[in-house]
């Protein structure tokens, strides 16, 4: 990933925040047929390993878990957070010199790691329970769905149809391209433009980038 110094994100807390709040990662693997990408919701276990561990599951019918080595396959998981198109018209300095062009602001985290297949009913059951609990709570329902709401034999059959994967994260590379390289009035103009389109998540990230 092209990473100018002024866009490099090195704060562990911010890297982990992006992975937690935007858990649908793109898992990139190298298999017998070349590169492959699977989009999977991940659980981040921050307490395991120097950079944490990513846990997920895939359908048993998905060839991914058979095509990568069972132990230690090098993989990449990409997490993308807020993003927004930036128009030059939002920069107050534009009329002064007309030396601005469109760009795109975004935050991404690349998690490099080693994948291990966990074809283990206990691992998968615990993972599904935690993922369900986390994301049902985020859905802000009065009565969140629980695994116990379904018949045990149905849940058992669903669990048998998936396989767990565990990724030991060995390196995190983060990029926060949020207008830090702009003068304050242009950065705030872009924030206002993005917020005006209703993209408050990107606007808030851009505001935060200017506080450093």
pLDDT digits (tens, 9 = 90+) for 98-149: 888 999 999 999 999 999 999 999 999 999 999 999 999 999 999 999 999 9
pLDDT tens across 166-182, in order?
999 999 999 999 999 99
Block residue for tokens 């599904």: 128
Model confidence, pTM: 0.93
* Residues 6+ positions from 46 with CB-CB distance below 8 Å: 16, 52
Structure tokens at 65: 């878990």
Closest CA to 70 of 147, 155, 165: 165
What confidence category does residue 70 fall into, taking pLDDT thresholds of 50, 70 and 90? low
Q: How many CA atoms lie within 13 A of 135 on its CB side?
A: 15
Higher-pLDDT residue of 69 and 128 is 128
Distance CA 24, CA 40 (A): 5
Helix (H) or strand (E) holding 205: helix 200-209
Say how far apart CA 61 and CA 162 lie, in whole Å.
8
pLDDT attached to residue 144: 93
Average pLDDT across the chain, whole number: 94
Average pLDDT of span 13-27: 96
Distance CA 126, CA 93 (A): 54
């Amino acid at each position: 990933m092209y990473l100018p110094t002024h866009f490099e994100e090195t704060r562990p807390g911010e890297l982990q925040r992006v992975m937690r709040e935007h858990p649908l990662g793109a898992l990139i693997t190298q298999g017998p047929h070349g590169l492959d990408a699977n989009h999977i919701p991940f659980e981040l276990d921050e307490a395991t390993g120097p950079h944490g561990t990513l846990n997920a599951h895939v359908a048993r019918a998905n060839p991914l878990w058979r095509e990568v080595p069972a132990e230690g396959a090098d993989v990449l998981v990409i997490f993308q957070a807020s993003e927004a198109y930036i128009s030059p018209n939002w920069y107050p300095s534009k009329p002064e010199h007309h030396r601005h062009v469109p760009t795109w602001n975004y935050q991404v985290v690349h998690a490099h790691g080693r994948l291990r297949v966990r074809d283990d009913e206990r691992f998968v059951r615990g993972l599904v329970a935690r993922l369900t609990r986390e994301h049902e709570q985020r859905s802000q329902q009065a009565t969140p769905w629980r695994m116990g709401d379904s018949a045990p034999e149905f849940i058992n059959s669903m669990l048998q149809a998936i396989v767990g994967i565990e990724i030991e994260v060995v390196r995190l590379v983060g990029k926060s391209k949020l207008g830090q390289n702009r003068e304050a009035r242009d950065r705030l103009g872009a924030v206002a433009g993005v917020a005006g389109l209703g993209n408050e998540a990107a606007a808030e990230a851009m505001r935060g980038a200017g506080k450093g």
